[in-house]
Amino acid sequence: MRKQFFCQILGLIKIVLVIVVGFSIAGHGFVEKNLEDRREKHAVKSIQSEDGDVIDCIDIYKQKAFDHPVLQGHIIQMKPNDDPTEQTMTAAKTKTWKERNDQSSMAVTSQIWKKSGSCPEGTIPVRRIRNPGAFQSNSGEVYGRKKPSFNEHPNLQQPNHSVWFTYPIAIVITEGYHYSGVKADIKVWNPFVESDDEYSTSRVLLACGPYYDFESVESGWTVNPSVYGDRQTRLYAYWTVDASKTTGCFDLTCPGFVQTSTEIALGAAIYPISVTNGLQYQIIIYIYKDPITSNWWVQYGENINIGYWPHDLVGALRTGASTAEWGGEVYSSKLGQPPHTATAMGNGRFADYVFADSGCMKRMRIRDNSPNLKSPEWVSTYADEYNCYDSAILITVGHNYFGAQGDINLWNSAVDLPDDYTTAQIWLKAGPADNFESVEAGWVVNPKLYGDRTTRLTRLFAYWTDNKTGHRWLKCGDDAVIGYWPTEMFEYLSHSATSVEWGGEVTAKM
């Protein structure tokens, strides 16, 4: 029997951990049924990939994007006015080997079709739809488009209207500012997808507007049998201006996205794929708004601008996004009722903050009113089916950290068994993964420890561990200093922490 989870909001607490040994903080989306005939007609060259894909090299001026009503007579912007690839190459020349190595420890992936050839200048690589029956089995107006994220339009006049969401997400989110860019290194997996009409993604996203009528642009990797005809992991881009009710599509399956790159094919398979407990691979995705044209560009890796969504395609997004997201998404019609779908997110494991052997994103960055990328000032995690898909922990590593702070939403989460517990907390850690030292604080529901097996109250807690026995000070709020862990207790943490984490932890007998 599926467990039922509930929680009660209690407020918010602010936790500060400080190490006192110095200070160094580090329009419409539609598809014609003769789309494939059209692509073959305009193909200058066709490439047969070893994985079964056919890549057509299409004249850049004859691509499908210009069939969109608002893009009639559109003049292609061949490169962004504020090109981050040039900034990246300039910055790389001034970086030390250590700085370049610290940026990412995972290898960047490529695409399988590139083993078999390349497209000439003046053309763009377009993946030919592998399952021709898709146009017959789906309405021409919905192929390549996501299902709306809710099953009915809410009645805003009724305060208790019911809206059932059709796909769960597990994300790290920041909002409230004017965002013009979002970026991340995304670990690449090949998750299990149970049914042909389901999919799993790992992506970055920029959005604005209410949940029932939002505009968004996103990019990352996906396993999506209904769009691509198989279960390979593929690079994708997606847009909508009305929460996917009548607009939007993956890649180039409808008019909208203008491609400029000859090197990357949207929808093509990615390789290699990360291996559990083995080699790890990633893609680097950056979505950003051109400061002059307001077109939304997609960059792959650090130096390939794939193309853009023209500003004429969107509405409120012309001026910027109000939300930036990093995380995963699963679509299934089997949600909220047994049996639940077995379709996985990431690599199918819950978030793992020690080995990052799960769905993982690094170097999460945003661009707001300044021209430079930076870490978001604040983030929160969200998972609407947290017992199945988990956004777990936000972590930063690789520097000497002397403090960490977080505003933590205060809940009274259900704990199933007396020996189980759940927390929301921040950590400072140092040392090897199998023998680390840590100090942590936050709130906890722990019936066994606190003896409230019936009431199961939410309590403030502090915890430490070391591998042997400046002080670690603990504050609650802005002014209340609670106490400290003496520096003599630690070995690795006697100097500083090498990782900071914000998130939750659950211990339960399975």
What is the full DSSP assignment across 257-324? -EE--SS--TTPBEES---TTS--EEEEEEEEE-TTT--EEEEETTTEEEEEE-GGG-SGGGT-EEEE
The answer to whether 206 touches 287, Cβ cutoff 8 Å, is yes
DSSP three-state, residue 177: strand
What pLDDT is recorded for position 151?
A: 54
Residue 139: which pLDDT band, with cuts at 50, 70 and 90?
Answer: very low
Give the number of other CB atoms < 10 A from CB of residue 405. 14
Residue 501: which pLDDT band, with cuts at 50, 70 and 90?
Answer: confident
* Closest to 232 (Cα-Cα) out of 240, 222, 241, 242: 222
Please indicate, yes or no, if residue 314 is contained in any of the structural domains.
Answer: yes
Please indicate, yes or no, if residue 275 is contained in any of the structural domains.
Answer: yes
User: Looking at the structure, do residues 307 and 335 belong to the same domain, yes or no?
Assistant: yes
Which of the residue ranges 170-174, 251-255, 445-449 has the most confident prediction, judged by mean pLDDT?
A: 251-255
* Closest to 353 (Cα-Cα) out of 495, 467, 499: 499
Q: Which of 367, 389, 414 is the last residue of a domain?
A: 367
pLDDT digits (tens, 9 = 90+) for 93-125: 444 444 444 444 567 789 999 999 999 999 999
Give the mean pLDDT of 473-483: 77
User: Looking at the structure, do residues 19 and 76 belong to the same domain, yes or no?
Assistant: no
User: Does the structure show a pLDDT above 50 at 14?
Assistant: no
Please indicate, yes or no, if residue 328 is contained in any of the structural domains.
Answer: yes
User: Looking at the structure, do residues 190 and 300 belong to the same domain, yes or no?
Assistant: yes
Integer Rg of the chain from CA:
24
The bridge status of strand 9-19 relative to strand 403-411 is antiparallel
DSSP three-state, residue 448: helix
User: Does the structure show a pLDDT above 60 at 138?
Assistant: no
User: Looking at the structure, do residues 354 and 486 belong to the same domain, yes or no?
Assistant: no
- Lay out the sheet containing 123-127: strands in order across: 43-48, 54-59, 123-127
Give the number of other CB atoms < 10 A from CB of residue 41. 11
What pLDDT is recorded for position 233?
A: 97
User: Looking at the structure, do residues 195 and 285 belong to the same domain, yes or no?
Assistant: yes
User: Does the structure show a pLDDT above 80 at 178?
Assistant: yes
Q: Which residue has the higher pLDDT, 496 or 242?
A: 242
CA dihedral 116, 120, 122, 127 (to 10 degrees): -10
User: Does the structure show a pLDDT above 60 at 168?
Assistant: no
User: Looking at the structure, do residues 488 and 361 belong to the same domain, yes or no?
Assistant: no
Residue matched to tokens 């979505």: 287
What pLDDT is recorded for position 157?
A: 45
Give the mean pLDDT of 207-231: 94
The answer to whether 443 touches 463, Cβ cutoff 8 Å, is no
User: Looking at the structure, do residues 344 and 424 belong to the same domain, yes or no?
Assistant: no
What pLDDT is recorded for position 26?
A: 29
What pLDDT is recorded for position 335?
A: 66
pLDDT digits (tens, 9 = 90+) for 266-300: 999 999 999 887 888 999 999 999 999 999 999 99
Q: Which domain holds residue 337?
A: 41-82+122-138+170-367
User: Looking at the structure, do residues 279 and 191 belong to the same domain, yes or no?
Assistant: yes
User: Looking at the structure, do residues 220 and 273 belong to the same domain, yes or no?
Assistant: yes
User: Does the structure show a pLDDT above 80 at 200?
Assistant: yes
For the chain, how many structural domains are there in total? 2
User: Looking at the structure, do residues 360 and 479 belong to the same domain, yes or no?
Assistant: no
What pLDDT is recorded for position 34?
A: 53
Q: Measured between alpha carbons, how far is residue 253 from residues 142, 246, 312, 355, 369 in Å?
A: 10, 14, 18, 37, 33
Residue matched to tokens 């650090």: 302
The bridge status of strand 281-289 relative to strand 107-108 is parallel
What pLDDT is recorded for position 313?
A: 96
Q: How far apart are CA 37 and CA 223, in angstroms?
A: 25
Q: What percent of the chain has pLDDT over 70?
A: 71
Task: List CB contacts of 117: < 8 A, sequence separation 6 or more.
Answer: 45, 47, 55
User: Looking at the structure, do residues 328 and 234 belong to the same domain, yes or no?
Assistant: yes
Q: Which of 341, 367, 393 is the last residue of a domain?
A: 367
Q: Which residue has the higher pLDDT, 481 or 295?
A: 295
Q: Measured between alpha carbons, how far is residue 419 from residues 352, 367, 451 in Å?
A: 22, 44, 11
User: Looking at the structure, do residues 353 and 417 belong to the same domain, yes or no?
Assistant: no
Residue 481: which pLDDT band, with cuts at 50, 70 and 90?
Answer: confident
Mean pLDDT over all residues of the chain? 78
Q: Which of 351, 367, 383 is the last residue of a domain?
A: 367
At position 281, the amino acid (one-letter code) is Y
Question: What are the phi and psi torsion angles at 361 (to 5°)?
Answer: -130, 140
Please indicate, yes or no, if residue 106 is contained in any of the structural domains.
Answer: no
What pLDDT is recorded for position 250?
A: 97
Q: Which residue has the higher pLDDT, 457 or 497?
A: 457
Please indicate, yes or no, if residue 388 is contained in any of the structural domains.
Answer: no
Q: Which residue has the higher pLDDT, 72 or 499?
A: 72
The answer to whether 100 touches 241, Cβ cutoff 8 Å, is no
User: Does the structure show a pLDDT above 50 at 471?
Assistant: yes
Which of the residue ranges 126-135, 167-176, 196-205 has the most confident prediction, judged by mean pLDDT?
A: 196-205
Burial class (CB in 10 A: 0-12, 13-18, 19+), 6: exposed
Omega within 30 of 0 (cis) for the link into 339: yes
DSSP three-state, residue 279: coil
pLDDT digits (tens, 9 = 90+) for 310-365: 999 999 999 999 999 998 888 877 766 666 777 887 776 655 555 555 678 888 89
Please indicate, yes or no, if residue 383 is contained in any of the structural domains.
Answer: no
Tokens encoding 30:
């539609």
Residue matched to tokens 């970086």: 95
Question: What are the phi and psi torsion angles at 209 (to 5°)?
Answer: 105, 170
Tokens encoding 283:
């893609």
Please indicate, yes or no, if residue 387 is contained in any of the structural domains.
Answer: no
What pLDDT is recorded for position 243?
A: 93
Please indicate, yes or no, if residue 30 is contained in any of the structural domains.
Answer: no
Tokens encoding 505:
């932890």
Q: CA geometry: angle at 253 spanning 249 and 259, to 5°?
A: 95
